[in-house]
Amino acid sequence: MNGRMTRRDFLRISALTVGGVVVSTGLQGCFSGSSSDDDSEPPVTSGVAFQHGVASGDPLQERIIIWTRVTPQNSAATSIDITWQVATDAAFTDLLHEGTASTDSSRDFTLKVDVQNLTPGSQYFYRFISSGVTSPAGIMKTLPGSGNQQVRFAVVSCSNFPAGYFHVYAEAAQQADLDAVIHLGDYIYEYGSGEYATEDAEELGRTLPADNASETLTLDDYRKRYALYRADADLQALHAAAPFIAVWDDHEIANDTWREGSINHNEGEGSFEERKLAALQAYFEWLPIRPASLDDEQTIYRSFDFGDLVSLHMLDTRIIGRDEQLNYTNYITQTGFDAVAFEADVSDPARTLLGQEQLNWLQARVANSTSTWQVLGQQVLMGRMNLPAELLTSILDPSSGDLLGSFSELLAIKLRMEAADPTLTAEEIARIELSVPYNLDAWDGYAYEREVVLNLSRMLDKNLVVLAGDTHNAWANDLRTQDGTAIGVEFAVASVTSPGLEEYLALPPTLVEQTEQAIVGLVDDLQYLNASQRGYMLVTFTPAEARADWRFVTTIKDQDYSVDETRTETFITLPGAANRTLVQPG
């Protein structure tokens, strides 16, 4: 097989999990696809536990998914009956939904219920019961109808269990009035012990278990990795606090995944196609996402309308359409960097990140939406992140030279250019103007398609806000077309635990803020960078503004932590063609 992820592939994956989605329409609601439809073989159980909490997700105005996993305490258990309850109150005295279905090992003892006949913009409580054991309760909220005046998201990304404690999840769970948690991918990491960001795992008590200590390759591997992450109390708290709207990135499969491969899928690791399908099946099983079905042929990309205020379009920039990433080493010749060949390839109109089918879908969704804000929830940075080309060698290999000194020197030249310094030489100007994107895994490596998306927003006169994850650092970008027209803004979230530029560039703590300032100064459309801390974003939309508040924790390497109030940052953008750039309130 060529490895291309087709709709047929998604339906195949979904079919393995659709059977685990039951439909609840009210008290003693009907259900379908459950193994308990066959009463000839009663379930074999003798005690259960809800070790992985509860979750809700993919809210609509009258429907929402609820999820749990039950752990059998008897290894001979074949199937387990689970009752779900949905109420308007935390005491569950006003029950609206109640029903029972069974789950089994074919779906890793997970259960998802599509709860229907709910009221728009309403809060509900839910829980599960099995063999006399009651799960923790969760809180969920349906999408509002028209006329709503505020939508509020907590945005998170990149949670590597062995790298540190999930304090960021714990803090986000404390936020009030959340309409949803937006998870932009890297919910798990595929690496084994001794690989990326695992060096502190033993000291932190976050080592990978013996039966899941190698790189994840099989369905069983991925299921066990999700089970490890979902046993974390802080992640459980966030899931219980608000519905998730999630997309995958690369580490749910393997590092730098594209539609036919990955930089971290190597010879001897079997078929990448089989690995990918196993990884995505586990994702559908363990996340409260409404899977594709024969009646509803959607894939992971999908939209959510929060009344007439926000249309949230969740994209797949990783698997379904992505061409293989470009690699700078392919353009380095004996005479230097082949800029002509690189420019031709990076701007190739045939080069795609979304794929034509998804791009057509996005165009139609944005064109037909009447919401004040068009929001793209997706994985990788869209803003132009060009740096002077002479930094390329040092960026690719930070140990090769004095990168921090080069940053400072080049920033000084650029500041002189902005001040119209008459003493600038042509050589100095060329050092700044000859620039290249530093991250070809992001939209910078797919420049033509980025221009298509930005010009779509300009043509339709939409207020565009892009949410991004992936980089482990916090960024705020103005989004402009190639001719410089301001189209919208990008709010990018730091990681939950994965290390960022501070580790990659080996930045001493005393030089972090200086380096941040240098990068912001050198990148034209970049307005903000936190290059060293772990955190989340609160993104709030009203008819008057879109606002991002970045929140950071002081440490992920110690159980004792606090929110770093000295590094909290806020940017806003206003609706209207004349206002689509970043400003700081006040």
pLDDT value at residue 322: 96
Q: What number of other Cβ atoms are within 10 A of residue 420's Cβ?
A: 7
Compute, in degrees rounded to 10, the torsion defined by CA atoms 299, 31, 87, 49.
-90
Q: Show the CA angle centred on residue 408, arms to residues 402 and 413, nearest 5°.
A: 125
193 class by beta-carbon count within 10 Å (0-12 exposed, 13-18 middle, 19+ buried):
middle
- Distance of alpha carbon 386 from the chain centroid: 23
Contacts of 207 (CB under 8 A, 6+ apart): 162, 193, 198, 201, 213
Q: What 8-state DSSP symbol labels residue 383?
A: S
For the chain, how are helix, strand and coil distributed in percent, rounded to 5? Answer: 30, 25, 45
Q: Which two tokens stand for residue 57?
A: 């997700």
pTM of the prediction?
0.94
pLDDT value at residue 291: 67
Beta-bridge mates of residue 181: 154, 244
Q: How does pLDDT run along the chain (586 residues), one tens digit per residue?
A: 344 545 555 445 444 454 468 899 988 754 444 443 444 455 555 589 999 999 999 999 999 999 999 999 887 788 999 999 999 999 999 999 999 999 999 999 999 999 999 999 999 999 999 999 999 999 999 999 999 999 999 999 999 999 999 999 999 999 999 999 999 999 999 999 999 999 999 999 999 999 999 999 999 999 999 999 999 999 999 999 999 999 999 999 999 999 999 999 999 999 999 999 999 999 999 999 986 544 433 479 999 999 999 999 999 999 999 999 999 989 988 887 888 999 999 999 999 999 999 999 999 999 999 999 999 999 999 999 999 988 887 777 777 778 888 999 999 999 999 999 999 999 999 999 989 998 999 999 999 999 999 999 999 999 999 999 999 999 999 999 999 999 999 999 999 999 999 998 888 899 999 999 999 999 999 999 999 999 999 999 999 999 999 999 999 999 999 999 999 999 999 999 999 999 999 7
pLDDT value at residue 43: 53
> Closest Cα to residue 22, out of 78, 66, 62?
66
Q: Where exactly are the structural domains of the chain?
A: 7-142+186-246+249-299, 390-436
- Distance of alpha carbon 377 from the chain centroid: 8
Q: Which two tokens stand for residue 201?
A: 């795992």
Contacts of 221 (CB under 8 A, 6+ apart): 212, 214, 215, 278
CATH hierarchy code of domain 7-142+186-246+249-299: 2.60.40.380
Helices (H), 294-347: 339-346
pLDDT value at residue 298: 44
127 class by beta-carbon count within 10 Å (0-12 exposed, 13-18 middle, 19+ buried):
buried
Residues 14, 52 contacting (CB under 8 angstroms):
no
Helices (H), 287-387: 339-346, 356-368
Q: Show the CA angle centred on residue 323, arms to residues 322 and 327, nearest 5°.
A: 120
Q: What number of other Cβ atoms are within 10 A of residue 194's Cβ?
A: 12
354-378 CB burial, b ≥16 within 10 A, e <16:
bbeebbebbeebbeebebbbbbbbb
Pairing, β 310-314 against β 71-72: unpaired
**Whole-angstrom Cα distance, residue 523 to residue 478?**
11
pLDDT value at residue 2: 46
pLDDT value at residue 233: 98
Compute, in degrees rounded to 10, the torsion defined by CA atoms 167, 168, 173, 179.
-170
Contacts of 274 (CB under 8 A, 6+ apart): none
User: Scanning the structure block, which residue is given the tokens 């003892």?
Assistant: 109
DSSP H/E element including 377: strand 373-377
DSSP string, 384-405: --EEEGGGHHHHH-GGGS-HHH
| SS3 assignment, position 297 | coil
**Whole-angstrom Cα distance, residue 58 to residue 64?**
6
pLDDT value at residue 296: 37
